[in-house]
């Protein structure tokens, strides 16, 4: 029922053509990001281990969400472009457990080579990252704090995300 409620709200309140970009003021991620989660391939990953020297692009998505899949493809290009600058990416899938095989197949056919984590109950999305609607993405600083968040996706939005990543890389280099 909760998923249906989210889908209905997403359809009426945040259509894919609407994009909200905000700073991190409204999100308070716990300092302790040491939670373990399974990947689409069945491995266990400690989220804290995904944080590094550079920005981490976190992308929440679902198979039924076409804008989510478009955004992930665009972000894959960005993560490759900035990999040498220390930028990492992780996708967190919010489909239900019974869809894992379909999710795994889609990830494989798309050539996704960054970690794809599973959040079938929405606990991570809701309780840790305050997800509002899909698609939902965050740019995290190396310490796990939110630099920027994005709700929704329209083709071309990745240009703004790219600018934010470039700005954050420059900011991190200044801090040395």
Taking residues 54-60, report their average pLDDT. 94
* CATH number, domain containing residue 129: 3.40.30.10
Mean pLDDT across 113-130: 91
pLDDT of residue 127: 86
Q: Is residue 155 part of a domain?
A: yes
Kindly state the helix (H) or strand (E) to which residue 57 belongs, with its residue range.
strand 56-61
Residues 6+ apart with CB under 8 A from 100: 40, 118, 120
Please check whether residue 16 lies inside any domain of the structure: no
Give the confidence band of 147 by pLDDT, cuts at 50, 70, 90.
Answer: very high
The phi and psi torsions of 149 (rounded to 5 degrees) equal -130, 150
Domain boundaries, position 146? 2-7+21-175
Cβ-count burial 121-147 (b if 16+ within 10 Å, e if not): ebebbeebbebbbbbbbbbbbbebebb
Between 17 and 3, name the one with better pLDDT. Answer: 3
pLDDT at 29: 55
Q: How many domains does the chain have?
A: 1
- For residue 59, report the phi and psi dihedrals to the nearest 5 degrees: -125, 115
> CA-CA distance, 65 to 155, in Å (whole number)?
14
Q: With respect to residue 80, please indicate whether it lies within any of the assigned structural domains.
A: yes
The tens digit of pLDDT for each residue in 88-100 reads: 999 999 999 889 9
């Amino acid at each position: 029922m909760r998923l249906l409620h989210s889908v209905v709200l997403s359809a009426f309140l945040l259509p894919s053509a609407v994009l909200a970009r905000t700073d991190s003021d409204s999100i308070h991620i716990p300092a302790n990001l040491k939670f373990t989660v399974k990947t689409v391939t069945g491995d266990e990953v400690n989220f804290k281990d995904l944080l590094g020297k550079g920005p981490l692009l976190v992308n929440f998505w679902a198979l039924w969400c076409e804008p989510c899949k478009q955004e992930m493809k665009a972000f894959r290009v960005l993560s490759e472009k900035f990999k040498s600058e220390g930028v990492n990416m992780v996708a967190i899938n919010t489909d239900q457990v019974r869809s894992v095989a379909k999710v795994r197949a889609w990830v494989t056919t798309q050539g996704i080579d960054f970690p794809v984590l599973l959040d079938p109950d929405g606990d991570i999305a809701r309780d840790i990252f305050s997800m509002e609607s899909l698609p939902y993405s965050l740019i995290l600083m190396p310490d796990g704090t939110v630099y920027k968040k994005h709700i929704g996706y329209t083709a071309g939005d990745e240009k703004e995300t790219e600018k934010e990543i470039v700005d954050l890389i420059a900011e991190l280099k200044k801090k040395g």
